[in-house]
Amino acid sequence: MGSKLRKGIVAYLCITSIFLPCGIGLAAANDTISSQKVVETTGEVGTFKKFVPLTQRMEKLKVSTIPKGEAYIPKDTTINVELTSAISSKTSHKGDIVPLKTSSNLVINDVVVIPAGTKVNGVITVARKNGMFGRSGKLEFTINDVKTLNNIRVPLQYTGKKKAGNDGGAVAVAAAVTLVGGLFMKGKNVDFPAGTQFEAVVASDTDLQTPLTDLKTAMEEAMPNSVVITLK
């Protein structure tokens, strides 16, 4: 037997003796872990609990910052809002106030907290009227907040966007017609008629600064020009 062959056999035996016990140990460890999983879940072989992603488990751990027993409006509550008058890209400018009001009551525990008809604050963020060569109008606005009967500001989230027509096609047609012809080819403006409905959502849990047990009294006392009658 050659010296190279003998060295190869010796090396093979050394490697086998080193890794074989580890392999057996790993397999045994895996078997142990697997059996422990079965016992720790339901105690029934082959039955496991439903997997819940980490993000969902973290959501359950979130606790509201509002003190227990305090009245509040939860985050993501829907507030129905409508335009009290029309807005248009033809006449609106960036920074203009959007004329809005609530279109329904917000009620918590049978108490009206924000009545229908309450003013809602909104602002025009982008306003571009139509132009030559078929350029369409564009209008964007945000709905920012509303106040409760007891004057608590409730932050809202909503962004309305609308663009009239398609610039590209209109410009291409105008260019084909001739430059002069394109000057008289106007795009459309964007219009939101009065009464248009929107759904804004509450941006964060909003403390109403009154215990839940006193909510009705707090709202009745804050209601302007109201006559309160209690019958017993």
Give the predicted TM-score (pTM) of the model: 0.61
The domains of the chain are located at: 1-62, 70-222
Residue 113: the pLDDT is: 96
Closest listed residue to residue 195, CA positions, set 79, 89, 96, 81: 81
Provide the greatest CA pair distance for the chain.
114
- The residue among 88 and 34 whose pLDDT is bigger is 88
Residue 119: the pLDDT is: 97
Closest listed residue to residue 102, CA positions, set 81, 87, 123: 81
Lowest-confidence pick of 16-20, 42-46, 94-98, 219-223: 42-46
Residue type, 133: F
DSSP structure string for 49-96: PPP--HHHHHHHH---SSPTTEEEEPTT-EEEEEESS-EETTT--TTP
Q: Which CATH class is domain 70-222?
A: mainly beta
Residues 6+ apart with CB under 8 A from 174: 132, 133, 134, 181, 182, 185
Task: Summarize pLDDT for 166-191 with one digit per residue, the tens.
Answer: 444 334 444 444 444 445 566 788 89
